[in-house]
Amino acid sequence: MPHTHQKAWDRLAEQVVLELPRPMGATSTVIDPTYRLDPAEVFGRGAPLVVEIGSGSGDALVAGAQARPDWDFLAFEVWRPGIGHALAKMGETALPNVRVVEADAAVALQTLLAPGSVREVWTFFPDPWPKAKHHKRRIVTPDLVDAVVALLEPGGVWRLATDWDHYAEAMREVIGADDRLELVSTDRAPLRPVTRFERRGTEAGREITDLAYRLR
């Protein structure tokens, strides 16, 4: 990762990046499925919890945590340079309401958190895998829907955004097939900043789609 991001990692990772048990080795992105994370213990308080699936370089994560210091934010990201970038965005001091797990969220979220413990789930600009032969790699799948439904507290919200029309349609199809969730908004997510992915999409002439689903 770039030098400034590495310096931020060296300075802040111990406070922000969680070290969790990994049965397949320290470099694995798979968390021990028998391990249960206690957010109150991790953050040292009880507060509404936001889980971000794929925090990328941390634009939404850092902006959201700064805007809502009364909420806690738990991000999942497999791309270590992105985590370093997010840490650099924090400056010299770690945000006390942010923790990051270097792991595959689609797998970890099936077991890591207690059911009904999350206020919001964010999935902003996931890799669209535009080629048809790669659609199976997309993160928004029926299995992820099941995991998110289990995590959300009653009335909790899953917020998504993409700049690819065909992926937006696929999201609507996959999530809309589950009657436990209802589409409540297509407005921009309240805490979502303009990210570099959004700027790239807009510059390329693509329309941004926001979706918000609430647990019935």
Q: Per-residue pLDDT tens for 163-213?
A: 999 999 999 999 999 999 999 999 999 999 998 878 888 999 999 999 999
Residues that are catalytic: 127
Q: What is the model's pTM?
A: 0.95
Q: To which residue do tokens 């308080």 refer?
A: 45
CATH no. for residue 156? Answer: 3.40.50.150
Mean pLDDT value across residues 8-28: 93
> What pLDDT shows up at residue 130?
84
- Return all residues near 103 (Cβ < 8 A) that are at least 6 apart: 20, 29, 30, 31, 76, 78
Q: In what helix (H) or strand (E) does residue 172 lie, and over which residues does it extend?
A: helix 165-176
| Least confident among 30-34, 44-48, 126-130 | 126-130
Q: Residue 84 pLDDT more than 90?
A: yes
* Number of domains composing the chain: 1
The full length of the chain comes to 216
> Which structural domain range is residue 203 located in?
3-215
- Cβ atoms of residues 98 and 67 within 8 Å: no
Instruction: Return the structure tokens found at 65.
Output: 């945590």
Residue 78 pLDDT:
94
In contact, 142 and 189? CB cutoff 8 Å: no
Q: What is the pLDDT of residue 28?
A: 85
Work out the average pLDDT over 81-101: 97
**What is the pLDDT, as a whole number, of residue 151?**
98
CB burial class (10 A; 0-12, 13-18, 19+) of residue 84? buried
Q: What is the H or E stretch that residue 158 is in?
A: strand 152-162
Instruction: Give the type of residue at 84.
Output: G
> What pLDDT band is residue 134 in, cutting at 50, 70 and 90?
confident
**pLDDT of 129 strictly over 90:** no
| 79-108: average pLDDT | 96
Q: Which two tokens stand for residue 113?
A: 């958190």
pLDDT at 102 over 90: yes
